[in-house]
A = this chain, B = another copy of it.
Amino acid sequence: MDVLVSLKHDGKLSDYVNKAYAAKHLCDVKVVTGDQSTFYTHRLVLSAFSEFFQRKISGQQESHNMVIPIDVDSAVFKVLMEFMYTGQLSVTTAERIALYHASVILEMDTAQELLQQAYISSDWHGMMTNKVTKSSEDNDLDVKVTEETDVKVTVSDIQEEKTLDGATTSNMSELTT
């Protein structure tokens, strides 16, 4: 028995599925957001990245052209859909909190981890939990992060401002006070 291994296999599947999403091809679920936008998508992809969708979809396994309503805004859900299809989460300052809340509602573990990582690495205060406490040791925050980090965080343009005493704060803290 010889075992031949294709190193491009996972990427090929992912690329194909992403193209199918862009072309609305082979879609079998409609997701309707809180503001009544409709997203045409695939059961396999939703189930792979969201426990919430996995449960909804398994519950109606025989249904063709399923419709799933969600209590998430379309602008935010669009970003999470892009994440499910590409692995990239594009976060604007204004949407940080809404994105995190949506990733909790939709039980998207990997998206949550990424946002938590970004929080730790870039000082997005107050975003991940209402109970952020900072101990006397720097960065000992009340935020759980998985021990095995296999995510890459690219924080490109956090707008920071210096306080009078030289400490750095992000503009996130303005949103959450």
* Contact indicator A153/B4 (Cβ below 8 Å): yes
* Contact indicator A114/B26 (Cβ below 8 Å): no
* Contact indicator A151/B44 (Cβ below 8 Å): no
Closest Cβ neighbor of A15 among chain B residues = B48
Q: Could you write out 12 A-B pairs with CB less than 8 Å apart?
A: A2-B154, A3-B91, A5-B152, A6-B152, A7-B152, A8-B87, A8-B150, A9-B14, A13-B14, A13-B49, A17-B48, A20-B47
Chain A residues 61-105 with CB under 8 Å of chain B are: 61, 64, 83, 86-92
- Indicate how many identical chains form the complex: 2
* Contact for A2 among B7, B152, B157, CB less than 8 A: B157
**Number of A residues with CB within 8 Å of any CB on chain B:** 55
* Contact indicator A13/B16 (Cβ below 8 Å): no
Closest Cβ neighbor of A65 among chain B residues = B64
Closest Cβ neighbor of A57 among chain B residues = B26
* Contact indicator B42/A7 (Cβ below 8 Å): no
Top 3 A-B pairs, shortest CB-CB distance: A9-B87, A16-B48, A10-B10
Chain B nearest CB, measured from A104 CB (Å):
16
Contact with B along A111-152 (1 / 0, CB 8 A): 100110110001000000000000000000000000000111
Closest Cβ neighbor of A113 among chain B residues = B6
* Contact indicator A2/B90 (Cβ below 8 Å): yes
* Contact for A90 among B3, B26, B117, B157, CB less than 8 A: B3
* Contact indicator A157/B5 (Cβ below 8 Å): no
**A59 close to chain B: CB less than 8 A:** no
A8 to B10, CA, bound (A): 10
* Contact for A9 among B8, B28, B110, B118, CB less than 8 A: B110
